[in-house]
Amino acid sequence: MIAWQLVGSTLNENGLLADNQPSSASSPSSSGHGTTQTSKLHNIPISQEPWSTEVATRDGAFRIRWEASNNGKALGMKCLTIETDSLRTMILPSRGMGIWKSWAKSCEGNGNQALGRDSTDNNWVEFGWSSPVQGPVHPSLVPIGDPSGIGWLEGFDELLVRCGLLSNGAPEFDASGKVAYPVHGRIANLPVDSMRIEAHPELGYLDVIGVVSESRFLVYSLTLESRIRFHIGSSAMEIHDTVTNLRSTPGSMQLLYHINLGQPVLQSGSKIVAPLNRLAPRDPRAAEGIGQWDRCNGPQSGYSEQVYFGDPVCSSDHWTQAMLCNHDETLGYAVHFDKSTLPVVNFWKNTASVEDGYVVGIEPATGFPNNRSFEERNNRVVQLQGGESRTFRLKLDPRIGAQAVLESKQAIEQLQNKPCCVENLPVAGWSPSAESNA
């Protein structure tokens, strides 16, 4: 069942989604942690037919569009688009609440060519990437159980795709050679069980909430409730995910946010800016480029990916951020996240030819994207008691114009209170390749 609701909500003192946010819209919190404002409650079932509506606020409107794709590998997929005067975002409920692409508007008068604006609308800048799989791809066409262990790649196309929940990294095979854990897990190819939209006109924001289940009878049962928040007047969106072990017995989970950026923010000379305690290459291939780990090349045919593992520096409230910005620092994309539950960040550089997938990833995660057994041996798999939940928070923040990029860069520099320890070779305990070469 999918519904949209006009309800009240609770904000913390910073105006962000409060930790005590109720999962049911019909029972807004009365906690002293925030300010609760309640509107008249509406619960309107959404048909399978395309529809659109607007929710007016004092400072602008949320435009909501629900539709199904009619062609290609996306045939039959349901898509939800949320648009304000600052941001347009397409959410994929059929693909684990992933975000396919996002477009943001500039507040500065930079030229369209310099900012790489979307050719179909000169007022919008596109964030995402051009994948050779030409998606979005309906999950029924993605062979997760492929014997190679990498069938997941046939659907890899989004700006944001979650990897998990049982496993989130490299594929792993059992003693007979069968796939035990496919690459990046299953959650991105599972549809929502339910979804709702909560609009808060008085406070100027709107939440999209989807619930996705990943389970196997007698083995495990995990559920993800994802809340994506949009604000009038802002091009940023907040993500507040809660994973729960529904079984009565202990279980475990992993989660990685694969945030993927291509042109126009990615170009020759683009830079990764992040506050780090320590950074190391994943393998010998990544070690080849350690001296330029934070610099990006232009498209290069035949390029082989390089991955770097990082331990981020955070503020006293556990928040940190990483940003990719273009060569002249007029366009960027910042990823803010809560290190208390996402303690590591991975950087994926795949600056291959545009035809082969020219993309860089910023990946906050519960651990490194190695196979699950290695991560478990190194205590980076999240343990959950029966009925226990864990919450993960991040914010995706387009930075358009030199001033916006500078503000993010300065905030990152303030967090970097000591030099980062950059390892020249893979580190034992972080990378299997370090142990195999020991």
Residue 392 to residues 339, 384, 408, 421: CA-CA distances in angstroms?
A: 9, 14, 22, 27
| pLDDT in the model for residue 46 | 47
| pLDDT in the model for residue 122 | 67
- Work out the percent of the chain whose per-residue pLDDT is above 90: 79
CATH architecture entry for 40-436: Distorted Sandwich (2.70)
Average pLDDT over residues 51-61: 92
pLDDT tens track for 129-145: 999 999 999 999 999 99
Residue 275 to residues 262, 313, 412: CA-CA distances in angstroms?
A: 22, 5, 6
pLDDT tens track for 90-110: 999 999 999 999 999 975 544
> Which residues is 45 bridged to in the sheet?
3
Average pLDDT over residues 395-414: 98
| pLDDT in the model for residue 123 | 82
Question: CA-CA distance, 137 to 92, in Å (whole number)?
Answer: 10
> Which residues is 256 bridged to in the sheet?
163, 365
Residue 120 — pLDDT band, cuts 50, 70, 90? low
Average pLDDT over residues 292-316: 98
Residue 26 — pLDDT band, cuts 50, 70, 90? very low
Strands 2-6 and 194-200, by their bridges, are parallel
| pLDDT in the model for residue 19 | 40
Average pLDDT over residues 114-129: 70
- What is the rounded average pLDDT for all residues in the chain? 88
343: how many CB neighbours lie within 10 A of its CB? 17
Residue 14 — pLDDT band, cuts 50, 70, 90? very low
Which residue would you say has higher pLDDT here, 279 or 19?
279
Is there a contact between 229 and 223 (Cβ–Cβ < 8 Å)?
A: no
Is there a contact between 363 and 344 (Cβ–Cβ < 8 Å)?
A: no
DSSP state of 438: -
| pLDDT in the model for residue 245 | 98
Is there a contact between 111 and 176 (Cβ–Cβ < 8 Å)?
A: no
DSSP string, 217-280: TTTEEEEEEEEEEEETT-S-EEEEEEEEE-SSS-EEEEEEEEEEE-TTT--TT-EEE--EEEEE
Average pLDDT over residues 175-191: 97
3 state SS of 65: strand
Q: Is the dihedral angle over the CA atoms 358, 141, 195, 169 positive or is it negative?
A: negative
Average pLDDT over residues 318-338: 98
Residue 27 — pLDDT band, cuts 50, 70, 90? very low
Q: Cα Rg for the chain, rounded, in angstroms?
A: 21
Average pLDDT over residues 415-430: 97
Strands 179-181 and 194-200, by their bridges, are unpaired
- The answer, yes or no, to whether residue 206 has pLDDT greater than 80, is yes
The mean-pLDDT minimum among 44-53, 181-190, 220-229, 301-310 falls in 44-53
3 state SS of 410: helix
Is there a contact between 169 and 370 (Cβ–Cβ < 8 Å)?
A: yes
Q: Show the 3-state SS of 391-429.
A: EEEEEEEEEECHHHHHHHHHHHHHHCCCCCEECCCCCCC
| pLDDT in the model for residue 242 | 98
- The answer, yes or no, to whether residue 232 has pLDDT greater than 70, is yes
- The answer, yes or no, to whether residue 71 has pLDDT greater than 90, is no
Question: CA-CA distance, 303 to 26, in Å (whole number)?
Answer: 52
Instruction: Kindly report the pTM of this predicted structure.
Output: 0.89
Residue 276 — pLDDT band, cuts 50, 70, 90? very high
The residue type of 53 is T
- The answer, yes or no, to whether residue 182 has pLDDT greater than 90, is yes
| pLDDT in the model for residue 438 | 57
| pLDDT in the model for residue 15 | 36
